[in-house]
């Protein structure tokens, strides 16, 4: 008994001792303040894991300790290189501990073996949180040094301007890794930044003039705080591991170029910005039958002449067989005839816009011809006839892959077969439902084979086994429709395609098409007068599926509203006889542009940060059939707060959302005098005075469950956001 009592007391004392020995800055909320020019000693030897930490450039792999530093507007350098007793890592965040946002991170940087160095551009007054941790559970002692200096091109705000025709020398050898999302390529290595604006001609950005490592180029539109991916490139075909990216810029837009490397590679390069009146072909692809090849690409020069030169692998340009023709549209294509079956070929492509005015040449690229002839309907021009009541057997194994437009959920990733159906003015359903050996997709188009326009698409139809498909569409009498049966991912196999025709339901919803979107006038909170909608007599459009319902049919109707002077709105949407509805926000019917979506809407849908005086589109849908039915929709806003500022505005960070007892409001402008909580009728139910604080906490324990508005009373820029009490 005494031995057991002694063991228990020893365990308690050891536990207490361990708790006392934990560092004062063991947790994020206990972060120790540091400043420029300081060096502080620290240790993670008795630290514990912090549940707030998130992976940031380098993953969280050991217990760590926390520091905080207020931004000065300079580049802040944090380093453990002066003294480290273990393999350190550094992670830098903004935001509060409960909602950290990755800023920068490093493992083994600073040319000091297992020490770490991270550099990041800071914003004046922003509080940054720094986590010092270790590799693979390593712990120990360290010195953390802090230095501040000018922001260089190592960071987006220090981007070096580059102009048309310039070629600038650069190096990434002493750069740091950027915490930025995938853009054409992954971001895997330290990089440096360049910027340009005011250019309207097609541009080609390349490192191929001179490079001594495997480069990558990524291009973004917008300012550093709002970068939007344009595209990127890793290896330039025919030129090795240098990088080339071409596109048509908007002269009113600012663009940023990041030059980085593959798999951590760094080195020296020459960056050239070529501005051409004849843009370079992009997204070049080749697919081949046995004696023909089909080349497709994106062109910036419709009406120009294309030149494709084909030859054996390794042939010298000028010695191959040339095919020319007219570029009919941005979606350009060419057919190469007279090839030999079972042979690998190389080819080059360029466009001629006028006398002595031609694009850069792309290539060499390669393709391999088939050893046996493919099915005649492997290409659109060879489509087999399909009529009402037909049941046709096909096998996509007899075809080859060619890209094409995405219709609804049916993006093209696998080979397929084509059929042609002449409309009778009624409704046609084409289907592989339960009759295919693989996961099928169906795309339906109208227009000529070289200029197809989406009508409908189908993937994973409700009630169809084996992920088979169905597409239903309204036809125009005498118009020819191209039906393409293909597969999910790279799947292929045999199928039975049926075509069923029926009279079209009546009346068709007036807002079945985006071009006929029904206008909704936003009203003040508490004055909603719902509009009724119905998708029973509506059809799935050819617009690509939104990310929130990527595979199911989208039988939709459309609405439109104008924001006026407001930037925040609440959409109230409720299914009546419909078996649930989904909603998405879009712009531009001519080229439908997706913004965000909300699946299974069963309450208020909050739309924030919209542009003033702008027309937006709301798409409402479900899978149709037995799920179709009626619903109610209205849009409300707070007319007491109008947008009064121009340029970019950063809304306060509200978290967590939904919240239970405490709501945190961070990054408040100093001009905010109070925060008001309103109910959905716009009535003020609580006021919180901010007294110039950047971060405040709001007790919401006594609020009833539901949705609320949070208004920031700011003479310079009043804003309104939404939150949910759960």
Q: Three-class SS string for 372-411?
A: CCCCHHHCHHHCEEECCCCEEEEEHHHCCCCCCCCECCEC
The CA-based dihedral angle spanning residues 151, 155, 158, 161, taken in that order and rounded to the nearest 10 degrees: 160
Amino acid 6: pLDDT: 39
Tokens of 202: 């097609």
- The size of the chain, in residues, is 726
Chain mean position to CA 541: 22
Give the chain's domains with CATH numbers: 21-149 (2.60.120.380), 156-275 (2.60.120.380), 282-368 (2.60.40.10), 376-502 (2.60.120.380), 514-637 (2.60.120.380), 653-725 (2.60.40.3080)
**Is residue 553 a contact partner of residue 461, using CB atoms and an 8 Å limit?**
yes
**Is residue 558 a contact partner of residue 514, using CB atoms and an 8 Å limit?**
yes
DSSP 8-state class, residue 703 = S
The alpha-carbon radius of gyration of the chain (Å, integer) is 30
DSSP 296-333: EEE-S-TTSEEEEEEEETTPPTTSSEEEEEE--SSEEE
Question: Helix or strand or coil: residue 331?
Answer: strand
| Number of CB atoms found within 10 A of residue 677's CB | 20
pLDDT tens string 400-411: 999 999 998 999
Helix, strand, coil fractions of the chain, as percent rounded to 5: 10, 45, 50
Amino acid 588: pLDDT: 87
In angstroms, rounded to a whole number, what is the distance separating the alpha carbons of residues 180 and 186? 9
Amino acid 482: pLDDT: 97
Amino acid 647: pLDDT: 35
pLDDT tens string 340-390: 999 999 999 999 999 888 998 999 999 999 999 999 999 999 999 999 999
In angstroms, rounded to a whole number, what is the distance separating the alpha carbons of residues 581 and 573? 8
DSSP 8-state class, residue 681 = T
In angstroms, rounded to a whole number, what is the distance separating the alpha carbons of residues 82 and 40? 11
In angstroms, rounded to a whole number, what is the distance separating the alpha carbons of residues 530 and 478? 40
Tokens of 69: 């530093």
Residue 568: burial class (beta carbons within 10 Å; 0-12, 13-18, 19+): buried
DSSP 8-state class, residue 19 = H
Question: Helix or strand or coil: residue 368?
Answer: strand
**Is residue 546 a contact partner of residue 593, using CB atoms and an 8 Å limit?**
no
Three-state secondary structure string covering 25-50: CCCHHHCEECCCCCEEEEECCCCCCC
Amino acid 640: pLDDT: 60
What's the angle, vertex CA 38, arms to CA 35 and CA 41, rounded to 5? 115
Question: Helix or strand or coil: residue 11?
Answer: helix
What's the angle, vertex CA 570, arms to CA 564 and CA 573, rounded to 5? 120
**Is residue 295 a contact partner of residue 333, using CB atoms and an 8 Å limit?**
yes
Phi-psi region of 569 (alpha: psi -120 to 50; beta: other; left: phi over 0): beta
For tokens 């068709």, what's the residue? 508
In angstroms, rounded to a whole number, what is the distance separating the alpha carbons of residues 362 and 365? 8
In angstroms, rounded to a whole number, what is the distance separating the alpha carbons of residues 720 and 682? 11
In angstroms, rounded to a whole number, what is the distance separating the alpha carbons of residues 510 and 516? 6
In angstroms, rounded to a whole number, what is the distance separating the alpha carbons of residues 375 and 492? 14
pLDDT tens string 243-296: 999 999 999 999 999 999 998 899 999 999 999 889 999 889 999 999 999 999
In angstroms, rounded to a whole number, what is the distance separating the alpha carbons of residues 62 and 134? 5
Find the distance separating the first CA and the last CA of the chain, reported in whole Å: 51
DSSP 163-192: -TT-EEEEE-TT--------BSB---S--E
DSSP 8-state class, residue 257 = E
Q: What is each CA distance from 116 to 47, 111, 132, 366, 403, in whole angstroms?
A: 19, 8, 9, 44, 46
| Number of CB atoms found within 10 A of residue 7's CB | 10
The dihedral through the CA atoms of 133, 138, 143, 148 has a sign that is negative
- Kindly list the averaged pLDDT for each block of 10 residues, start to end, along the chain of length 726: 41 43 90 94 92 84 94 92 93 88 82 86 92 94 94 92 93 86 87 95 92 96 87 86 92 95 93 91 93 94 95 94 94 94 96 90 94 95 96 96 91 96 95 96 93 91 92 94 96 96 93 94 82 92 87 92 88 91 91 87 81 92 91 84 42 75 82 80 76 81 81 73 76
Amino acid 650: pLDDT: 54
In angstroms, rounded to a whole number, what is the distance separating the alpha carbons of residues 102 and 97? 12
The residues, ordered by sequence, that sit 6+ positions from 43 with a Cβ below 8 Å of its Cβ are 23, 65, 139, 140, 141, 142
* Of 519, 724, 722, the residue nearest 637 (C-alpha): 722
Amino acid 651: pLDDT: 60
In angstroms, rounded to a whole number, what is the distance separating the alpha carbons of residues 541 and 526? 34
Tokens of 363: 């290539």
**Is residue 301 a contact partner of residue 258, using CB atoms and an 8 Å limit?**
no
Amino acid 14: pLDDT: 40
**Is residue 140 a contact partner of residue 132, using CB atoms and an 8 Å limit?**
no
Tokens of 322: 């040339």
């Amino acid at each position: 008994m005494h031995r057991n009592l002694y063991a228990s007391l020893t365990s308690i004392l050891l536990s207490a001792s361990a708790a006392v020995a934990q560092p004062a800055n063991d947790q994020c909320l206990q972060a120790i303040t540091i400043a420029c020019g300081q060096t502080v000693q620290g240790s993670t030897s008795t630290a514990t894991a912090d549940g707030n930490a998130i992976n940031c450039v380098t993953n969280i792999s050991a217990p760590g300790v926390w520091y905080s530093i207020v931004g000065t507007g300079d580049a802040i350098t944090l380093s453990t290189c002066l003294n480290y007793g273990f393999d350190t890592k550094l992670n830098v965040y903004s935001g509060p501990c409960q909602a950290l946002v990755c800023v920068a991170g490093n493992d083994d940087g600073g040319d000091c073996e297992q020490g770490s160095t991270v550099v990041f551009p800071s914003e004046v007054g922003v509080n940054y949180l720094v986590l010092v941790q270790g590799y693979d559970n390593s712990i120990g002692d360290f010195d953390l040094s802090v230095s501040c200096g000018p922001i260089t091109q190592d960071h987006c705000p220090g981007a070096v301007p580059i102009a048309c025709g310039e070629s600038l020398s650069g190096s990434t050898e002493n750069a740091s890794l950027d915490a930025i999302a995938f853009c054409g390529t992954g971001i895997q290595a330290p990089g440096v930044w360049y910027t340009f604006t005011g250019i309207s001609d097609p541009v080609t950005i390349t490192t191929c003039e001179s490079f001594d490592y495997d480069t990558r180029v990524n291009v973004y539109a917008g300012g550093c705080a709002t970068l939007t991916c344009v595209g990127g490139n890793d290896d330039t075909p025919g030129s090795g591991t240098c990088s080339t990216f071409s596109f048509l810029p908007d002269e009113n837009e600012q663009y940023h170029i990041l030059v980085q490397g593959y798999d951590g590679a760094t080195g020296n390069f020459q960056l050239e910005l070529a501005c051409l009146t004849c843009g370079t072909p992009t997204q070049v692809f080749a697919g081949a039958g046995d004696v023909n090849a089909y080349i497709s690409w994106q062109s910036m020069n419709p009406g120009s002449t294309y030149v494709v030169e084909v030859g054996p692998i390794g042939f010298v340009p000028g010695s191959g067989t040339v095919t020319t023709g007219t570029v009919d549209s941005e979606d350009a294509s060419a057919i190469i005839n007279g090839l030999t079956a079972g042979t690998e070929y190389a080819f080059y492509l360029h466009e001629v816009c006028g006398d002595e005015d031609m694009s850069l040449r792309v290539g060499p690229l390669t393709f391999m011809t088939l050893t046996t002839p493919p099915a005649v309907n492997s290409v659109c021009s060879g489509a087999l006839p399909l009529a009402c009541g037909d049941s046709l057997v096909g096998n996509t194994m007899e075809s080859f892959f060619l890209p094409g437009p995405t219709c609804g959920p049916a993006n093209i990733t696998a080979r397929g077969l084509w059929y042609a159906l002449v409309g009778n003015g009624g409704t046609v359903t084409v289907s592989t439902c339960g009759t295919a050996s693989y996961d099928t997709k169906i795309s339906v188009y109208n227009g000529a084979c070289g200029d197809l326009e989406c009508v409908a698409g189908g993937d994973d139809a409700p009630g169809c086994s084996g992920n088979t498909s169905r597409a239903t569409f309204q036809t125009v009498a005498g118009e020819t429709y191209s039906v393409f049966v293909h597969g999910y991912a790279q799947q292929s196999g045999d199928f039975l395609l049926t075509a069923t025709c029926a009279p079209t339901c009546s009346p068709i919803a007036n807002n079945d098409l985006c071009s006929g979107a029904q206008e909704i006038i936003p009203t003040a909170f508490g004055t909603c007068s719902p509009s009724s909608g119905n998708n029973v007599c509506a059809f799935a459009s050819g617009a690509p599926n939104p990310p929130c319902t990527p595979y199911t049919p989208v039988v939709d109707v459309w609405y439109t509203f104008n924001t006026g002077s407001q930037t925040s709105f609440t959409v109230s949407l409720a299914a009546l006889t419909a078996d649930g509805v989904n909603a998405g926000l879009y712009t531009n019917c001519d080229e439908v542009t997706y913004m965000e979506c909300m699946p299974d809407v069963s309450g208020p849908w909050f739309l924030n940060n919209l542009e003033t005086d702008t027309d937006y589109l709301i798409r409402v849908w479900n899978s149709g059939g037995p799920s179709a039915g009626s619903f109610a929709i209205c849009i409300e806003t707070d007319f007491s707060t109008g947008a009064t500022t121009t340029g970019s505005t950063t809304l306060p960070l509200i978290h967590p959302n939904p919240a239970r007892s405490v709501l945190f409001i961070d990054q408040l402008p100093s001009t905010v005098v109070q925060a008001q909580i309103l109910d959905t009728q716009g009535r003020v139910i609580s006021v919180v005075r901010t007294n110039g604080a950047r971060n405040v906490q709001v007790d919401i324990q006594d609020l009833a469950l539901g949705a609320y508005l949070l208004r920031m009373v700011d003479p310079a820029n009043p804003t309104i956001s939404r939150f949910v009490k759960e």
